[in-house]
Structure 1
Amino acid sequence: MFRKIAKTVLHSAVISLFVGCLSLWGMGFAMAEENEVLPPPGPNATQGQLLQTREIDVTGDGKLDTVSLVGTKMDSSSPYYAKLFIVVSGEGQNQVVIPLEGGYGPQMMFCDFNGNKLPEIYVSAETGGSGGLSYYYLYSLKDNVPTAIPLPDPLHVTATFKNNYVVKLKLKETGKSYKIDIKEKKADYDQFGVYKDGKVVKPIIVDVNPYGLLQPIDVERDGVCEFRGVQRITGIANADTIGYVNSIWKWKDGKWVLKGSSITKTLQPSHAGHH
């Protein structure tokens, strides 16, 4: 019991020290080792905030590590975090601090993606733009060495507008084609000049957004996570959603392999689970 209390107190002290350092950086101060060249101090960041923390072994030494997500704000009244940090500390380990870009509603999750029996650290934060996009980060801390794991590339789609308000969409990566009916958008597409009397007059190039959702999901229920990706397809305007590109990715032999894909008119419900 005493050890548990002491460990909690020590962790609180470590986080407090880290947060204090962030505050000093915000005021234009920083400590550095001899001959170390520091970047210019950032804008006046307010004091860092502990957003999430979890006791979990991410280094593989068999001991629980304390993994925390810390954020700093430019404006304390705003929900936007200007910077995010992953902080990993553990018994007998040097503390690791990983800086990330900021965002809204940051979340930290843990799952084994590469099958090495160790959970990786996954962080997402919304950009706040009208496209509903987010920043995503995946890190391995095996042997207490932070290693960024690349994320799967978004899929590519080409579109052909057909008569009677039908769009034929083709996934470049698989060669498969899908048809989506857009008759409910008839008035908008007539007004924009794409269709006249149901016939194609001026076809447009559709846009495929980056991942609006990149979600850990254990498809095979084997304790190893895949990624479920969702990309929005837009037509005459960003608000004009034609459909969604759905993908399932699995890490194999050092790269992401596409295990499944589809294009749907509506956003499919998720049955994902994460740790």
Structure 2
Amino acid sequence: MSTEHNDLTAANREAWDSKAKEYDAKPWQKKIASQVAEALNSHADWLGADWASASDQECHLLDYACGTGSVTRALSTHITHATGIDISSAMLSQYTSLLSSTHPSLVLKTSVADLCSPDPQPSISGPEFHNFDIAGVALGFHHFANPATCIANLASRLKKDGVLFIVDWLPNKIAPGEHIGHAHAHPDSHDHNHNHNHVKEEETEEWKKMKKTIKTNGFTEEDMRKIFEEAGFEEFGFVVLGEKFVLEMNGKKVEKTGFIAKGRKV
């Protein structure tokens, strides 16, 4: 694995371990979680997975970079089994604790693993970590050192005709297809307190830590199509979400235009 991958993984693990208990506690975080849930539910037919049915058909979800389980909660009425995988054990503890109390009918499983790594993952080598009906990542993709490797690894976990979806956001203030490294990612987005004099701003300690976790300043439709198709997916689809995500970063409000990308494994 590259030094960049190791450094980014370490930064993400440290950040998410420290934030697990308060990760989605702030009003703006709750708002984004509800937006993701609404987007996934309103596009459930479009996603086209083999959802759970009244005839006792099971549906198994792989929720990668699952955090505290916003994707699992969002799709809870469509699935019967959920497997949360994350690099942060603290996040997985929250995932299990929150979901077991609020969604007792779901069959839950978790594991610590890094699907951005090309190396084998012994912890998820068993059959229970394969043949998923649907897999997804919500708002984690821009943190990944190797998005294409992650997509390929997720593909290997899906059954034939299984569906993969990614919820993330479009780039801001950059040319189509251009990627900006983590040092410039979120601060260059459209915000409500832009400093027109370009005076260096004070950075909060929280932002200094978070900035180290960001790899890419969003993805275009062309970016996502290429990654999906190179991993062997067909029926690529891409929808831009109407309501912007509003993040609060370093004392500023930052707007991001979200999307859902999907593909079907053949």
Calculate the TM-score normalised by the size of structure 2.
0.24
Structure with the higher fraction of residues in strand conformation: 1
Structure with the higher fraction of residues in helix conformation: 2
Larger radius of gyration: 1
Q: Per chain length, whose mean CA-contact separation is higher, i.e. which structure has more relative contact order (CA < 8 Å, sep 6+)?
A: 2
